[in-house]
Structure 1
């Protein structure tokens, strides 16, 4: 039986990685139903931009009551406090977009201030403390910085760094002084379709030597190798075509377009995602698992809409999800999967 499964995986891998530009819906070897465990159903937020989890806490990036960062105990869902004031003073955030946790360091990127803020996370005498350390200012850079992440000495930028103003750019590696590598290719030819790749879902392996991106408009999964001082494309997997037009500065999806990735996180072995695969963008009732070669490993039908998804490398089978319903608003759930 195992040899048959390996043959299926190999065939699908070759099929997904084929050099043509056809779109093929992913075929998962196993499909399951899964029920989550509610950790907290009393989240006082109206919209979440990102979330992260480490060995102790769940961090939610959302503006609520003048603060951006809301922390919960990952084991029992206990609310531990809110931190990082809204504003434009030292350590204050105006327009947060992305969140990353690495050990005792926490990063938040503020798009309006073009700064990547660093905070330390400490738990002394059972009291959680989040303290501002410093920030990296991208204001002197030519171009747009939509999001930025610290990869350890270099910064991965989702934006338009450089003096060249024409043409849509994608990712650059920035060493603090100049762009050392960039990747500006697209897996589509149509100019309007390229707009679907503006600010896709992005996730990194815990080692930060791999990156995966997935489009919401249509479903295109790309994987990248970041192990050297360059951004190298590893694979392109086309699941749903991004049938969009660009009018009055906005993306307009076709009525029959299938939506793709609405949430992503990763371990060194797998990519967890919410893959919609439907013309209804609110069909968020799944957790879809891929390996880094684009193979569909398992798909779980969930009991709730999954709005955000995060995992910790120390417990890779535990997924922390920010769920949403009209009646209850946002809740924090734990899902245990088999990988």
Structure 2
């Protein structure tokens, strides 16, 4: 009989690209993973992996087995969710992956509310912008607070359920004495010193796309994915930044924000979970807290002058 744990190791190796990387994510030694994969190979009687340069790749038999492993592991999670739904109680642990730009306005309030409402629940939060949905599909996290910029087609992986939280526009940020808060025509930013994320990031791509729609390609003075650095440069009067509204503390002194008038750039913030027919009470509680925090935070955030 096939061992589900070994099937999960095969899935992890296929996703990570190497036994070493899979072992690291599983908190095991590479030797331990290799032994379990060797046992799985003996179970099925055919090679499942082959060397591929410095990585490994699935053989044809490995690809076939992985297709079945995905269904087996999904069925096991479905069974666990069904039992949890019958019990109807929120569990003791959950893991959340969240974008750094959402921590202040959404994550912290949501976790605070969860702590009051479900004191037995401990949520481990990974603040990262790297491969969140892949980690969700692999089962290393239970809930993802992610983003999708509106110009990008929806590419949600199969088996993932997405709950929209809010539309989050990028605002033009300047020093307090350099702006009036009125809506800004995006083309006018062509003449300013800009602080923007690298074009390899999702936000950087969105800024580039928006500017090109407005008729120019930005030549930034400062390139950084660190939103705190962008706001510092704007506060010092050294640059104009384009920053998601959710990432800006509306009470922060020394800056002024304004909406984009003609070619808005905005992202959808969403909560994602693995799809099950029966909602798991624990992940449902986390998603509900994120939704409430997003709604209350948006309602409490005064719009920029002129919006």
TM-score (norm 1): 0.20
Q: Which has the higher contact order (CA 8 A, sep 6+)?
A: 2
More strand by share: 1
Q: Pick the structure with greater CA Rg.
A: 2
More helix by share: 2
TM-score (norm 2): 0.22
